[in-house]
Amino acid sequence: MEVVRNAFDFSDFPKTDLLVVGCGLLFLLFFPLLPHSTFAMATMIQFLMFSLYGMGWNTIGGYGGQVDLGKAQYVGIGAYTTAVMLIRWDVPFWVSMPAGVMFSVTWSFIIGYPLFRLTGHYFAIATIATSLVLKDVFEVWDFVGAARGLEILATKYDAVDFTHLIFENDNYYYYILLAFFLLGILIINWFRHSRLGYQLRCIKDNELIAQSLGIDVHKSKVKTYALATAFVSVVGSFHACYIKNIEPEDTMSLDLSILIALMAMLGGAGSLWGPIIGAGILIPLKSYLKEWLGASAGLVGIDLILYALIIMVVSAVEPRGVWGLIEKIRARRT
Amino acid sequence: MTPLLRVERMTKTFDALVANREVSFQVNQGDLFGIIGPNGAGKTTLFNCIAGRYAPTSGRIFFDNRDVTSLSAHQMARLGLARTFQVYAASGDLTVLENVMVGCFLRTRSRFKARQRASEILEEFGLADLADTLLVEVPVAYQKLVTAATAVATRPKLLLLDEVAAGLNPTEVEQIMAMIRHINQNRGITVILIEHVMTLVMNLCHRIMVLDSGEKIAEGPPEEVAALPAVIKAYLGERYVQTQLGGQ
């Protein structure tokens, strides 16, 4: 099957890269066994979650060049689907998660269809708008707990409950998320080798040429947007079971949408490892800066200023992000 | 001679501006057809209407015995019409090979098939050395060859070339001419080209059509058309006739 062959084909990366990736994977695999604080574990889980968000964003935003600043709405749909189904009807995670993906993808078609008639900044603004509108709806919708949100009571479940994805020990969450993470890399690797991936890169380059080569630009964008949405929705569902307390404010906020996009842009939009590198830099920075600096009064928000600075520097030096920088250095050497 | 493309009394207006007025012509299978005319004569607009980028204001277009007047650009490509653009600035991160592969992907889903076909086409066009270079970093003359190769990769029946020789030096024009001849004769693709470089038009085309201010003013074999007073007045100028045709 060519799909499988594409998913496992990393042959276009130099061996040194694959060595680094292998070491990284070993570290991720054994991290829970190393001595670590609960805070470090929480940070690692955030890192994996944001890597996945970024990978999803990267399909349409990076390879396709369509700046999407509304990904949080799909985090919300995924998280709320899982939480509502779990609390009201005791539905297992493995059912509610695909249901969430179905809702998210359906919603992505509904808004993607008209939205992709827009281009450039107008598209970006429209994605923000739809996301914020959806957030407002959830804030007044009693069925989903309105602005108070929903709370999953962990005490109702066993200490290790794989069907509902409720665990006392974070290690379980970590490994399940790591499995998603690895699967995510394979899916993105398939995507970038697929016909759709190539077509999207052509669309990013020049839409007129893409059309002249028989690419239905609108359809390709909508399809890819749905793929991006599925990624984000799955992690949203996971977020509900992991955090157990969800509100529109933290699952569907503009901050989250922007963070997802920034993560991928910082690491390198349109490259396989970009979002992971971005999340690897920003997430630890964000949580540790908040921990160290946020506590002392008067310094609240300094973390925001610092990573805004980093982003400005990166975009001024190399718009293709850290990955672009690595490739530049590599090109200079040869 | 089977007609491949037939344009019937096609008019295209942009508000008050009439870009094409009642243009009719027919191109047969295997033809190498040239369109000439002064700047602003409506040549590129005509291409855009045929290729489905613009919908004609009135008139009909038939391609391969089908009314294609209202089809969009990507649908036309699927039916077997490929084109190049007059102004093309590569900006993306695609290499030359990947660029041609995108063309191949119109007829196959498989990356391996696309890669193989693209490599063959690059070989055929003498561009194999550039395969892994980013298209942005390739000299303009070669970018034009690559875009033509990419268009051919979609396996078209009809290829529209919009000023492929513009801005090229004589050696490069020779190269482009050889390529067009190859596409037309060896690959059997019907070609319509818009061109200002008269050596190319006069040497290559079986028939040419002259547009002026959106209207067709002449059509026929190149030598006959170039001798028509109306064409000389509108486009070629007296000096061209004296230097190029006077000596014959």
- Contact state of B83 with A212 under an 8 Å Cβ cutoff: yes
Q: For the ranges A65-74, A153-162, B151-160, B233-242, which has the lowest average pLDDT?
A: B233-242
Contact indicator for B211, B181 with CB cutoff of 8 Å: no
Question: Where are chain A's structural domains?
Answer: 2-253
Mean pLDDT of chain A, nearest integer:
90
* Dist. CA A158–CA B145, nearest whole Å: 66
Decide if B92 and A202 are in contact by the 8 Å CB cutoff.
Answer: yes
The sign of the dihedral angle between the CA atoms of A162, A165, A168, A171 is positive
Chain B nearest-CA residue for A200: B102
Q: What is the pLDDT of residues B78-94, one digit of tens each?
A: 999 999 988 766 667 89
Q: Which tens digit of pLDDT belongs to each residue from A187-244?
A: 999 999 999 999 999 999 889 999 999 999 999 999 999 999 999 999 999 999 999 9
Beta bridge partners of B6: B26, B62
Q: Note whether A205 contacts B92, CB cutoff 8 Å.
A: yes
- With an 8 Å Cβ cutoff, are B74 and A216 in contact? yes
Q: What is the pTM for the complete model shown?
A: 0.91
Of B53, B91, B112, the CB nearest to A205: B91
On whether ipTM exceeds 0.85, the answer is yes
Q: What is the pLDDT of residues B90-140, one digit of tens each?
A: 667 899 999 999 999 999 999 999 999 999 999 999 999 999 999 988 888
CB contact under 8 A, A195 and B150: no
pLDDT computed for residue B229 by the predictor: 85
Which residue is closest to A271 within chain B, CA to CA? B93
Q: Which residues of A touch B151 (CB under 8 A)?
A: 212-213
Q: Is there a contact between A212 and B82 if contact means CB atoms under 8 Å apart?
A: yes
CA-based nearest residue in chain B for residue A65 = B92
Of A68-77, A116-125, A250-259, A298-307, the least confident: A298-307
User: What is the DSSP secondary-structure string of B60-82?
Assistant: EEEETTEE-TT--HHHHHHHTEE
A-interface mutation test, from B72, B74, B98, most A Cβ less than 10 A away: B74
Residues in chain A within 8 Å Cβ distance of B101: 198
Q: By C-alpha distance, which of A290, A267, A311, A323 is closest to A51?
A: A267
State the best of B95, B105, B121 to mutate against chain A, taking most chain A CBs within 10 Å.
B105
The arithmetic mean of pLDDT across residues A20-38, rounded, is 93
The percent helix, strand, coil of chain B (3-state, each to 5) is 40, 25, 35
Whether residue B51 and residue A212 make contact (CB cut-off 8 A), yes or no, is: yes
| pLDDT number for residue B248 | 44
Query: Could you say which architecture CATH assigns to the domain B3-245?
Result: 3-Layer(aba) Sandwich (3.40)
B135 to chain A: closest CA residue: A205
Per DSSP, helices labelled H in A116-194 are 120-140, 170-193
Question: What is the reported pLDDT for A158?
Answer: 84
Where chain B has pLDDT below 50, the residues are 247-248
Nearest to residue A80, comparing CAs of A139, A162, A14, A16?
A: A139
Helix axes A120-140, A93-115, angle to 10 degrees: 130
